[in-house]
Structure 1
Amino acid sequence: MPRWHRVGFRLYWALLCKVRRRAGGKEIPREVRDLIFQMVAENATWGAPRIHGELLMLGFEVSERTISRWMRRAPRNPEPAQRWRAFLRNPGEAIAATDFFTVPTLTFSLLYCFFVINHDRRRILHFNVTRHPTSHWIVQQLREAFPCQSAPRFLLFDHDQKYGLEVPAAIRSLNMECVQTSIHRPWQNGVAER
């Protein structure tokens, strides 16, 4: 394609893009946006349909789709994250965390390494390796990790299905409190996830 042809096409499309009008409907007033942000902040369980209904009752004609878009832009309350970070920081010696990592072998099988780590000094308290982790095996590892009433106050672990229902019961029987991290939030167990 000759150079003058490419330049002509570029010029044509540049002019056409400038002439086109902006897509979308009319812009919603700042007052309505602030009201959406306020409703999101004060009512964490409300979704777009509920906020849409409330705005309709107040006399504002805004589509539910627009509300859901503005809900994503709403400033988030940092309070829950700050509470979690403060919990992890303050009683550091009273927190231990557990997790698994996998190790591929030369025979293309996987080994699962279970470990328990202390939060304040990041000291490994216990670890063991198995090919097939079960909840009963994990309970035994916890008993070996915390013999003779040496258990910390809190034990952090994620939502892995390997833990089952037996592991939280065993943790409580060792006089520890179970603290499960939220789903898809590895930062909440940052000491074990590193």
Structure 2
Amino acid sequence: MTPGTILRWHRRLVARKWTHPHRTGGPPVDDTVVALIERMARENTGWGYRRIQGELLKLGHQVAASTVRRVLQRLRLPPTPRRDTDLSWRRFLRAQATSMPACDFFHVDCALTLKRVYVFFVMEVATRYVHILGTTTNPDRAWTPNKPATCSWTSTTGQTTSGSSSATRPASSPPRSTRSSPARASRP
């Protein structure tokens, strides 16, 4: 007999002796209880986990405070002090979308000259309206920061937007846009 054989026998003995289901936690929470927890948390923003647990106990549902916390976290409802003043990033962006532009580059490869042309554009987040502010073959450090400051346009929401309050655009170079106004045919 080798020591490996004895260790193998011992592992088998322990595996046979200590077999049990590997189930963790309690039984799953009923969907009606989850709906009650969500409703109580949304309608009573000042109630914490313990208060919701107590109210559920009055209604005949025995649930732990940690279960209430887990359910609220799964529903993405914050704890009591932050629940009524929650300003999530998505809600902030929706509130600011009417005046928020987003800018970036995209490139176009020219088939004739074999050059890559970079296009600088601004998109109005609220309407997804795209304004093309300029093109260049070399978007270097001197060209890129000056482009938003020298361009201004009237957004589709009716607000005049510019990169700088003192920026002016010569009348000879109006801003280009991807949206074109429909042509009107004159009738005699």
User: TM-score band, normalised by the shorter chain?
Assistant: 0.3 to 0.5
Higher relative contact order (CA 8 A, sep 6+): 1
* Larger helix fraction of residues: 1
- What is the TM-score normalised by the length of structure 2? 0.37
